[in-house]
Amino acid sequence: MKVLREKYNNLSSFFKITVLFEAVLITSLFVVTMKTTNSFSDILREKEVALGENRIENVTTFVQEKYNRFYGFRNYIHSGEISEIMTRISDSREEAYDFKNISDIQVFFSAVSYADESISDAILVSMQGDVYSYTRQASYEVVPSYDFMDEPYIKKLLDSDENFVIKSVDPSIYSLRPREKVISFIGKIYDATLFPKKIVKGIFIMNIPLSEVENAQAMGESTGDGLMFVVSDQDQILYAQKPGICGNAFHESDYTTQEETYVSRRNVGTSGIYAEYILPESIMFAKIYEIRSKMIGILICAIIITMVFAGVIYYLFQKRMKALFQSMEAVQQGDLTAAKVSDRQDEIGRIMNAFHEMCEQLNRYVEQVYLSEIQRKNAEINALQTQIDPHFLYNTLESIKAKALLSGDDDAAEMISILGNMFRWSSKTGKKVASLEEELEYVKNYLTLQSYRYNQQLDISIDVKEEYLDYMVPKLILQPIIENVIKHALDGIEGTKLVGIYARKKDKVLEITVYDNGRGIPKEQLEELWKRLSENNQDEFESIGIQNVNQRLKLMYGPEYGLKIQSIENQGTAVKILIPV
């Protein structure tokens, strides 16, 4: 037990959650499946019973309507011209071919067709076998030479005291083409002039196709599991939903078993015909079992699919967690670049990205603390490489200044004084930053010296708000840029040479712009300069020029800060310095 507990404790938490989820899912689906099928069985039984009642009601109504229609035609035949015509034809064969008799019979057939579209055939047969017929579809017409009087069921009718009979008949025996079975209403035609004596002069037949009974059920919503029968007064099956049994004798016991069976019977008026609907429980519950089997199959498929998906998700989870652990182990060994970035925003992705950002910040901090310090020292060494002995240089410059004053050369004395101040400020070690005011003062001194060089043709413009003067900026960032302007932009141009400085603050960024009206930078050279600045190579500084300043700013503040240069050839150049406030 202890070993099993230890193994359980060592399992992945995600694996435990996955197994628990699968167990809950399987149990829930199983319970829902059983409850649903049990409840559905009662609902299905009630629905089948209701549908059966609806079907038997529709069939009963349909058969009753046709029976009433047939009874009306029978009365019309006995009280109208048809009885007289059939009497004349039976008494004299010549009357069978009389044009007027034939025309009157055709009028009767037209009335039958118009009165009821479900009647497929109307047939009149004299006692001598003369046949007059109407069929709704001409290709299925009755064969005129067929001997109806030789049919057993007609002989039986003629020998009995019955006035008519309703039978299930296959009309293919007397039609031009095979047809579906029909319900035939067959009646005797009496001589109306001898009434109440019943002297038979012929028979009439009217057929209703079984498809009309089928359509009358309105079975669109039914499952078709129950059995529908229409049975004659002689217990012959006139219509059955089950194929192949129409015309057989009906015995209810043939379609019921010992089990519980739902049976509904409706009589069709006083005709002796009745409709019966039989629904055995076994047939109904076969559908329940089929549904239950399908639901269990779906349940098994769902379980397999969820297990496969859970396995895939678990594999991907473990793979990503393994990558995160490997990154942590590498960082633990001192490799701050081993952390990986994730393009996903889920929990693991956010952890990986947060860990990567933490390593990057730590790496930048190390670079700023160590590399920035080394680069600053190199820059100061390069900038002050001529200062062999500062105190000796200051004393020498003071001596030269005194001699110039004694000689009356005030300009030279002024230049020497400014140069001494610049060397004294730039030689201060241990300071990486200075106030913007100090940096501008240093630049003013430098520009004053340059104005002597250009015979006062150097126009200097400094536009910096007083509120910005206390901002701290990296030391020696303006002088290298202005030196580059004097050396490359203004050297050799005619007229007044302009050097300007202005500062603006946007949000939390201080923008210091150095501009001139010099020769500008050609487009190809400007693009190469942009490329060099964007590469941000921090390996070494060989000069204290523009690239030196740009790299120092990026080391101290980050890649979004540094220099931006815009220039138009033969018009001037502007260098923008971006520093966080």
Question: pLDDT (tens digit, 9 = 90+) per residue, 64-110?
Answer: 999 999 988 988 888 878 999 999 998 888 888 888 989 999 999 99
Closest by Cα among 336, 384, 395, 344 to 364: 336
Domain residue limits, the chain: 62-212, 214-282, 385-425, 431-580
Helix (H) / strand (E) containing 280: strand 274-280
Nearest to 397 by CA among 381, 384, 380, 412: 412
Q: What are phi and psi of 174, to 5 degrees?
A: -125, 20
The hierarchical CATH code for the domain 431-580 is 3.30.565.10
Interatomic CA distance for residues 25 and 78, integer angstroms:
77
Q: Across residues 216-224, what is the average pLDDT?
A: 56
- Predicted local confidence at residue 542, as pLDDT: 41
pLDDT at residue 548 tops 50: yes
Pairing verdict, β 261-267 and 237-240: unpaired
Choose which CATH entry (3.40.30.10, 3.60.15.10, 3.40.50.2000, 3.30.450.20) describes domain 214-282. Answer: 3.30.450.20
Encode pLDDT of 117-174 as tens digits: 999 999 999 998 899 999 998 888 999 999 999 999 999 999 998 988 999 999 999 9
Topology match between the domains 62-212 and 214-282:
yes
By three-state DSSP, how is residue 220 classified? coil
Q: Which band of pLDDT confidence, cut at 50, 70 and 90, is reported for residue 222?
A: very low
At residue 491, does pLDDT exceed 90? no
Q: Taking CA 547 as the corner, what is the angle to CA 544 and CA 552, rounded to the nearest 5 degrees?
A: 80
Question: What average pLDDT does the chain have?
Answer: 80
Yes or no: is domain 62-212 CATH 3.65.10.10? no
pLDDT-derived band at 301 (thresholds 50, 70, 90) equals confident
Strand partners of residue 208: 183
Put simply, whether the predicted model's pTM sits higher than 0.85 gets the answer no
